[in-house]
């Protein structure tokens, strides 16, 4: 059976993003083996002085790490290996301040690893994660699907670019404007479920 990794950041009570990811799970739990990573419970390590230098020296400089140094990188390496071991990825998150929540960006920084998920060549970066596909499920209170806010959406383009760097084609199902358009918010969520169902049929 194929494998699906779900990376979820839905900390708010009655989260609309959670409604979307819950629907994805309900539709597909019998079609794929799901690993669920809740970023509100298991957070990546920020790249700070100690672990960043170990990562750079190992991944770019070829330095051999000792057991204690491996432990420092263990959590982020575990998340990277989850990505390497899966066939499909679903990342579910709201948009915060036109971009990704810090915890979601920390997950991206954990899994985008030189020599593991991408490599540098004379022609530029090359993704090492072939034969995978990704889906981004995202919500926002304001309408980032139309101008003037559309050009200020740095969240989904950032995820698409980072997945692309690793060689993973990405689709996005967005529900933008939930607070801006309260009269049709439920209708927009129902539309997203239809889109999830169509994509699920393509994947599985």
Can you give the pTM of this predicted structure? 0.95
**Domain tally for the chain?**
1
Range of the domain at 28: 3-203
| Cα–Cα dist 46/44, whole Å | 6
The pLDDT assigned to 151 comes to 95
Q: Tens digit of pLDDT for each residue in 156-199? A: 999 999 999 999 999 999 999 999 999 999 999 999 999 999 99
CATH number at residue 135: 3.40.50.360
Q: Tens digit of pLDDT for each residue in 8-41? A: 999 999 999 999 999 999 999 999 999 999 999 9
The pLDDT assigned to 78 comes to 98
Read off the tokens for 144.
Answer: 């980032």
Handedness of CA 153, 103, 90, 77 (dihedral sign): positive
The pLDDT assigned to 73 comes to 98
The pLDDT assigned to 39 comes to 98
Q: Tens digit of pLDDT for each residue in 94-133? A: 999 999 999 999 999 999 999 999 999 988 899 999 899 9
Q: Tens digit of pLDDT for each residue in 34-64? A: 999 999 999 999 999 999 999 999 999 999 9
């Amino acid at each position: 059976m194929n494998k699906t990794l779900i990376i979820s950041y839905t900390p708010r009570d009655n989260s609309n993003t959670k409604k979307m990811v819950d629907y994805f799970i309900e539709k597909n739990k019998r079609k794929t083996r799901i690993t669920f990573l809740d970023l509100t419970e298991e957070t990546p390590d920020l790249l700070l002085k100690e672990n960043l230098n170990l990562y750079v020296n190992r991944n770019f400089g070829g330095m051999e790490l000792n057991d204690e140094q491996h432990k420092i990188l263990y959590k982020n390496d575990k998340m990277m290996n989850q990505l390497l071991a899966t066939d499909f990825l679903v990342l579910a998150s709201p948009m915060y301040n036109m971009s990704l929540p810090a915890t979601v960006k920390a997950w991206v920084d954990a899994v985008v690893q030189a020599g593991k998920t991408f490599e540098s060549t004379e022609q530029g970066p090359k993704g090492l994660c072939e034969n995978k596909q990704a889906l981004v499920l995202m919500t926002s209170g304001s309408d980032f699907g139309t101008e003037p806010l559309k050009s200020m959406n740095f969240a989904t383009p950032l995820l698409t670019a980072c997945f692309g760097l690793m060689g993973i084609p990405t689709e996005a199902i967005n529900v933008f404007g939930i607070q801006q358009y309260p009269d049709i918010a439920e209708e927009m969520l129902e539309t997203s479920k239809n889109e999830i169902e169509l994509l699920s049929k393509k994947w599985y």
